Amino acid sequence: MYEELLNAFHRRLAAYAPPGFQGSAAFTFHGAPWFSADPGYVDWYKVDDFASLGALNEAAVTGARKDPHDKVAAQAGNASILFFV
């Protein structure tokens, strides 16, 4: 269920991309001794620059992206790590 919601959010983010957003991906990992959740998830977001990171941060929780974001965030707990490049 969580993975379906996570994928739905990434698809919606791509469909309604904010300025400077170049793409995103989510990966699953298992058994990492340094991470308490199993499985864990790593979300990667590629942006043009620091200003684009701010735009992405605001856009992720508004408009057409709000509902998918809120659904996956409600189930994330400590299961996800975010990376921005």
- Domain ranges (residues) in the chain: 2-84
Say which CATH topology domain 2-84 has.
Alpha-Beta Plaits (3.30.70)
From residue 42, alpha-carbon distances to 11, 45, 51, 63, 83 in Å are 16, 10, 22, 24, 7
Provide the residue-wise pLDDT of the chain in tens; the chain has 85 residues: 889 999 999 999 999 999 999 999 999 889 888 888 788 888 899 999 999 999 999 999 999 999 999 999 898 876 666 666 5
Query: pTM (2 decimals)?
Result: 0.85
